[in-house]
Structures are given as structure tokens and as C-alpha cells.
Amino acid sequence: MNPELSAITPSTRIGDLFPSSADCPRFEGDTIVQNLLEFFSRNDDDAVIVTRRSAHVGIVTLRDIVRVIHDSDNLGLPIRDFMTSPVETFDADTQISDVIEAIEELPYDKIVAAKGKNVLGIIDKHRLMSLCYRQITPMVKHDYTVIDSLMGLVGEGEKGLLKMATTDTLTGIGNRRLFEEVFQSYQKHSKTQDYSLYLLLLDVDNFKSINDTFGHNVGDSVLKQLAELIGASIRKTDTFVRWGGEEFAILQRYSDPMAVMKVAEQIRKKIDEHSFETIVHVTCSFGLASVRPEEDLESVFERADKALYRAKSDGKNCVRIDMG
């Protein structure tokens, strides 16, 4: 890996993981195992590209060769007999966030980073995930669905840590940390996007009364049911989290502000008409704010919160808007 790389972010290029002068070794497929073994013994490389008439057709690792030696004493066999094929190559300028999404579907473990004809290096996808895991939350590209991709790639132990870092333990949806990271990622790329960003806050009306009357177990059940109900009412690309207590937040991308207001009203109505367990009827108040370019989360949250306060003051169970 590149010793000069100090941090991995969503926009880090896959090629940046390797030294700029790197050029992965290549061997023709008819090279015999003995010759490749001698190469590995003289160099620090642990994988090579196998070629056929200069085209990349496979990968052979040091581990593959060790396995050959263990299973067979015929070191004169061609290395193409032991290669992993085909080769999945990513342009060196591809962002790691895009690579992560793509490799989830790959049936094999290793990928190649190339710059034109120059192969910068080979990396195991689990090794890539290990590197990214050190800063796993910022690896969320633009929406919560990428977390699902990451979950499929990390080991069982890492899955637990990843879930703890980005998920609300009561409801199973995202938490504040996830929301903050996704918001920052959106704002970083806001100048290059053709959509607007909106923050929708919602708060359960009279939630203290629900807890006092029915108990905290019923209150928790209400929050869980709300999370399921709202989650089924929004798009996968919307970032939906429990902000804290009985308050939830949704980060949405829309090009039409009228569409956002319509969605907010649809969610409000669905909650109002839903039959909840034990207490049956629950309502929520909503505060909606459009996010200004380069605005920080504290500022837009304050505006959305003021809109939410107006909704409470206007009798609750309604949507109020601050479009900035």
C-alpha cells in the first residue's frame, strides 16, 4: 500500500492506494511455476498478473504457488493452470466509494487498479474493506444503502462494530452519527449536483404522556412502529435516522420543492391514520427546511427545528416549512 496515503475518504481514488511509480508484475500464462516461485522469492510482491498476448487474463498469488508446491511436485506446469480468472480492472481514478458498490457483486476476491496500460496493483476486496474500516462511517457515499453493501463485505466481527457505529439500537434505523457523515458528504459535492437537499424533522406529539400513561415499553414500541412505517414510505436513497428521544430526521434529495412538501404531508397522514398497538392513535409534527449550499448541519437543523416548533404551536399533527 501507498505509505504516503494518510487517510481514506469517499473520494479517495483506488489508484491512490498504490505508490505512483507502482507497476504490477506480469507473466505470460505459459510461464512455468518454478520461474514464478523464483520471482516471489526475490521480490516483495505477493501477486502477479497473468497475460495472454499482452491481455490480462488472470491473477496468480504467492499463496496459489505455495498450494501448488504442496499438492504437486511438478514445478514445470504453466501458471495459467492455477490463475484466478477473469480479471476485474478498475481505472485508477475510480473513487473507492464506487469500487465498494461494484465489488459486492463480484464472484471473486481480487481486483486490479490500472492507469492506462500500467497496472498499479492488485488488492483483495476484504483487504480493501479492512483499510476502509478504519474510517468506515465516512465511507458512506451518499445514502444509507451503501451500509448494506459494506455489511456484505466485512467479516462477522466487523459487522457488529459497523452496526453499532451507524445504527440506532432501539429502532434499527440510522443514528445521528450516520446522518452527520452523510450530510457532510452531500454538502461537499453540492456544487456539482443538479438537485436540492432538504431536512425533514418530525417529533411524536405528546410522547411524554404516552410514556407516563402506558409505560416506557409501549413508548419504545411506538418508536419502533414509527420507524417501520416511515421507512416504508420513503425512498432507499433518503437517509432516515432517529435523532434522539422521540425525534427523527430525514435527509432527502429533490429537484422540485413541491415534491418534498407532498412527501412530508403523505408521511404525516399515514401516521395519523395508522392503528398503533396498545394506544391506537399517534400523531407527529413536522419541520421542513431546504439546505443552502455550503450550509452546516447546525444551521439548517436550527431552521428545521423552528419550523417544527411552529407546527407544535399551531396545534400539532401538521407540517411547517422554512425554505430558507
> What is the set of active-site residues?
246
Q: Please, what's the b/e burial string for 50-69 (b: 16 or more CB within 10 A of its CB; e: otherwise)?
A: bbeeeebbbbbbbebbeebe
* Residues 6+ away with beta carbon under 8 Å from 215: none
DSSP string, 159-184: HHHHHHHHB-TTTSSB-HHHHHHHHH
Asked if residue 178 lies in contact with residue 145, where contact means CB atoms within 8 angstroms, the answer is: no
- According to DSSP, the residues that pair with 26 across neighbouring strands are 49
The residue with cell 469517499 is 10
Q: Please, where are the H alpha helices in 206-320?
A: 207-214, 216-231, 257-273, 297-313
- Name which of 75, 87, 94 is nearest 50 in CA terms: 87
Name, in order, each residue with C-beta under 8 angstroms of 118's C-beta and a sequence gap of 6 or more.
23
What phi, psi does 47 have (nearest 5°)? -160, 150
Task: Please answer whether residues 147 and 166 qualify as being in contact, where contact means their C-beta atoms are separated by less than 8 angstroms.
Answer: yes
Within 13 Å, how many C-alpha atoms sit on residue 184's CB side?
13
**Total length of the chain:** 324
Number of H helices, E strands in the chain: 11, 11
> Dihedral (C-alpha) 181, 183, 184, 188: value to the nearest 10 degrees?
140
